[in-house]
């Protein structure tokens, strides 16, 4: 099978084979990061634009470095002081960027569906770097890639996602990817943040954190996103930490080889205790390293790369 897609908009529309192809391509690119010269000429002379309408440093830098390592030219476009502030529509902004012969537009936007909208009229490739509370597909691709590299497989594993599910695009994209790849997904957190509706996607929902971690092969902790919550969904950070924070006592109830994941930035002392974040079961920094490789893979594939076999060649 060869990669066919010109855009990467979400995980929902990807097949298990496509997700696996991104993983395999990422594996080939990860090796570049450990070379003395961390650069391949795969996208030389291509123009990549980071259109970050919602601020982000972490994801923007990961994409920027991924593009640089593929030898692309990268432009950062942030919402501050931009023509979006002067009343220009998103469609016009995007078409203007494309008129600069942009090959790939990476968009982060607070509105659900913004990347899909752009993909309907742009010839440039569109990559979703997070749209509202909807999806964050490269995060799910890097999370599942990290699981595969550590556990050797994904099918049949028990993955518990713990925290703010309702407002989390990371959760949505992970749920889609994990279910497609055959994992069993448990969601846990305060009832206000983990509605029962997720059961319809095929997840188990529980409000008993001990039950949620007991049989987990993976615990993926989500950030308590103060900035995306419009009203108080739980009494206090302290209460959240004591009820749902991953600490030594709670971890003792999990399997000895459980992997601890977090998309970052972590709130030490809130969703995760400091010592747990740094323990040997935590693969949080490995996720960051893998994220770069996954983004190199995605940039390569949407630009016409056929698959991992082309990276080696």
Residues forming the site for its own copies (CB under 8 A): 33-39, 44-47, 55-58, 61-62, 64-65, 68-69, 73, 75, 77, 81-83, 86-89, 92-93, 95-101, 227, 264-268, 285-286, 288-289, 292
Least Å distance, CB 134 to its own copies, is: 20
CA–CA gap between residue 186 and residue 198 (Å, rounded)? 10
Name residue 107's beta-bridge partners. Answer: 51, 128
Least Å distance, CB 212 to its own copies, is: 25
In the complex with its own copies, the residue whose CB is nearer, 185 or 301, is: 301
In the complex with its own copies, the residue whose CB is nearer, 89 or 309, is: 89
Residue (of 308, 7, 306) closest to 145 by Cα position:
308
Q: How many CB atoms lie within 10 A of CB 160?
A: 25
In the complex with its own copies, the residue whose CB is nearer, 45 or 256, is: 45
Give pairs for 77-82: CB < 8 Å, separation 24+. 77/49, 77/50, 77/51, 77/52, 78/52, 78/53, 79/52, 79/53, 79/54, 79/55
CA–CA gap between residue 293 and residue 287 (Å, rounded)? 10
Least Å distance, CB 200 to its own copies, is: 31
Least Å distance, CB 289 to its own copies, is: 5
In the complex with its own copies, the residue whose CB is nearer, 179 or 266, is: 266
Least Å distance, CB 130 to its own copies, is: 14
In the complex with its own copies, the residue whose CB is nearer, 13 or 56, is: 56
At which residue do the structure tokens 């556990």 appear? 151
């Amino acid at each position: 099978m060869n990669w066919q897609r010109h855009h990467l908009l979400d995980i929902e529309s990807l097949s298990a084979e496509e997700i696996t192809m991104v993983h395999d391509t990422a594996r080939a690119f990860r090796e570049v990061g450990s070379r003395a010269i961390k650069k391949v000429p795969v996208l030389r002379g291509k123009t990549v634009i980071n259109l970050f309408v919602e601020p982000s440093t972490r994801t923007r830098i990961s994409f920027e470095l991924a593009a640089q390592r593929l030898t692309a030219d990268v432009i950062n476009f942030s919402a501050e002081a931009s023509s979006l502030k002067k009343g220009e529509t998103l469609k016009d902004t995007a078409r203007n960027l494309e008129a600069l012969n942009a090959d790939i537009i990476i968009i982060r936007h607070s509105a659900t569906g913004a990347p899909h909208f752009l993909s309907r009229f742009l010839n440039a490739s569109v990559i979703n770097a997070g749209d509202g509370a909807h999806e964050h597909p490269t995060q799910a691709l890097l999370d599942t890639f990290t699981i595969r590299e550590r556990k050797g497989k994904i099918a049949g594993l028990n993955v518990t996602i713990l925290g703010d599910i309702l407002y989390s695009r990371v959760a949505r994209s992970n749920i889609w990817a994990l279910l497609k790849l055959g994992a069993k997904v448990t969601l846990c957190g305060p009832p206000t943040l983990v509605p029962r509706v997720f059961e319809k996607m095929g997840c188990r929902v529980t409000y008993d954190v001990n039950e949620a971690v007991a049989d987990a092969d993976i615990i993926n902790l989500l950030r308590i996103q103060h900035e995306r919550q419009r009203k108080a969904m739980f009494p206090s950070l302290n209460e959240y930490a004591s009820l749902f924070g991953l600490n030594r006592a709670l971890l003792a109830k999990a399997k000895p080889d459980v992997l601890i994941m977090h998309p970052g930035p972590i709130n030490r002392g809130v969703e995760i205790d400091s010592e747990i974040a740094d323990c040997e079961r935590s693969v949080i920094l490995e996720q960051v390293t893998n994220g770069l490789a996954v983004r190199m893979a995605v940039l390569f594939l949407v630009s016409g790369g056929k698959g991992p076999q082309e990276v080696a060649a």
